[in-house]
Amino acid sequence: MGNVLSDRVTKTHRLVASEQELREAIGHELAGQDLGEPVIMGGHFMLFEDDATGRLVPGVIEEQHDETMRRRVAGRVGIFPGYTWRLAADLARPYVESGVGARLLLLINDWQYVPRTGRPASELRAEFFEGFTELPAGYRDDLAAAGLSEDLVLPSRKHPLAFPETWLKYRFQKAADKFVKQGLLEKRFLGADEPEEGVRDTEVAFVDADGNYRTLISCGVTGCAGEITEMIAEVHRAGHRTILIFAPGECLMPVQTGVEIALSLYGLRGMRVVIADPGGSGEMSEEEIYGNLVSVSTFRS
């Protein structure tokens, strides 16, 4: 299925029911001489607080030694982080071996489960990223098994191994103000017409090609779409024009919105963005992931 989102952006979409079908769909979308050095975003994880230490740790099952932490992480994200990292490494290998090259991108959700009591969240995040000097042990093992090195990990301008979501959120909030002034995004006021003391909550929305409002910032809170918009812009800025994103299924719609905004509003020409959603909501087996079908969407500008 394909459609034109604007005069500059097109989208195709299909559903797959197995890892083999997923690999074939990705191979089809990443074929062609204009590929360049593809970026593959896999291994995305949340940060969880370790009750024993009070520190933030990667929400990856394989990295947990405490059974309570294993249950918490498994129930929330399932096998998604480790599974998509292994997929990303395996998919990157032939590009590296052929001399085309590939980069891996690690996006870290550093805000959703960060405690709001006790030490400031900013202090907890800073402590985590300061100590995050190498990938999780399982991720390093997966790279070694694929014959790859950590040098393939694409650094952000914030961290040498990761793209922190909070950093991307702040960047998008600044960009959104500019786009509202230019009339490219719409700001709307919420709540009562005459709020107390003149304070009014607002939301910033993107109006898509069908006239639907897609909320990006509500009451000062930026959703996943804004983070993805900035991530795509950062990838483009780094000189890459192709990116494959393994996104949690629950985030699929805002991720697609973020890609559409990046390609449409930021004027990123010649980009190819492939998005797949293999789980991320507690699935503990590949059968469970593909039993729900996996969406594969490709955006081109």
Predicted confidence at residue 78, as pLDDT, reads 97
Give me the helix-helix angle, 224-237 and 165-181, nearest 10°.
90
Average pLDDT for runs of 10 along the chain of length 301: 64 96 96 85 96 93 94 96 98 95 96 82 95 98 96 97 94 82 74 48 69 61 78 96 95 89 87 96 96 96 92
What is the spatial distance between Cα 142 and Cα 140, in angstroms, rounded to a whole number? 5
CATH code that applies to domain 36-285: 3.40.50
User: Which two tokens mark 138?
Assistant: 């399982």
Within the chain, where are the H helices? 19-29, 67-77, 80-97, 121-131, 137-145, 165-181, 224-237, 252-265, 286-291
Give the angle subtended at the CA of 169 by the CAs of 115 and 263, to the nearest 5°: 150
Q: Which two tokens stand for residue 137?
A: 């042990």
Residue 272's region, left for phi above 0, alpha for psi from -120 to 50, else beta, is beta
Beta bridge partners of 186: 205
Beta-carbon contacts of residue 25 (< 8 Å; ≥ 6 apart): 14, 16, 276, 296
